[in-house]
Amino acid sequence: MTDLPALTTRVGLGFDIHRLAEETGAELALSGLRLPVDLYAQAHSDGDVVLHALIDAILGALALGDIGEWFPDTDPAFRGADSTTLLHAVLSDDRLAGWRLAQVDCNIIAERPRLSDHKPAMRQRLATLCDLPLDRVGLKARSHEKVDATGQGQAIQAQVIVQLAPCQP
Ligand code: MG
């Protein structure tokens, strides 16, 4: 173990899923935006599956645990929390010292809402939140082919992979 070379990059993988509920006038928190789609994600926080998966990917890249350890859903402080605030808390934590996001890629899997019209804005918002140029941020959306609860429109999922790079001295 002692002859392992120092890492010049780190990668992390994140996943999240939340149930969807209908409510007239409701907004869905997704990729740091609020989409006016008469749906919301049932969650302790705002239920943003993209940002939750992103946070888990960052924590995974640095072997720093998971989002549930950092922001327990038993803690009233995080009830209804804006996930952009949680992301900023992670990105500014001292334990990330020396590393920064270098690349992000994301899959969103949902039967509803239709996301094609929202993809450019979600990708731009993700790039802004990650302080990355657009060509380092991938965002794809797809259905679940009517398979299982997500395919029946009862849930929304996200997968995120990140690459971290050392901060320039
Ligand atoms: Mg979540």
Cα 54 to middle of ligand 1, angstroms:
10
57-101 pLDDT, tens digit each:
999 999 999 999 999 888 888 888 899 999 999 999 999 989 999
Cα 76 to middle of ligand 1, angstroms:
15
Cα 116 to middle of ligand 1, angstroms:
22
Report CA torsion sign: 98, 103, 105, 106: positive
Distance (Å, rounded) from C-alpha 29 to C-alpha 149?
20
Distance (Å, rounded) from C-alpha 110 to C-alpha 100?
29
pTM of the model: 0.96
Cα 52 to middle of ligand 1, angstroms:
5
Cα 55 to middle of ligand 1, angstroms:
10
Q: Alpha carbon of 151 to those of 17, 25, 106: distances in Å?
A: 13, 23, 19
Distance (Å, rounded) from C-alpha 84 to C-alpha 143?
25
Cα 126 to middle of ligand 1, angstroms:
16
1-44 pLDDT, tens digit each:
678 898 999 999 999 999 999 999 999 999 999 999 999 999 99
Cα 6 to middle of ligand 1, angstroms:
32
43-59 pLDDT, tens digit each:
999 999 999 999 999 99
Cα 8 to middle of ligand 1, angstroms:
30
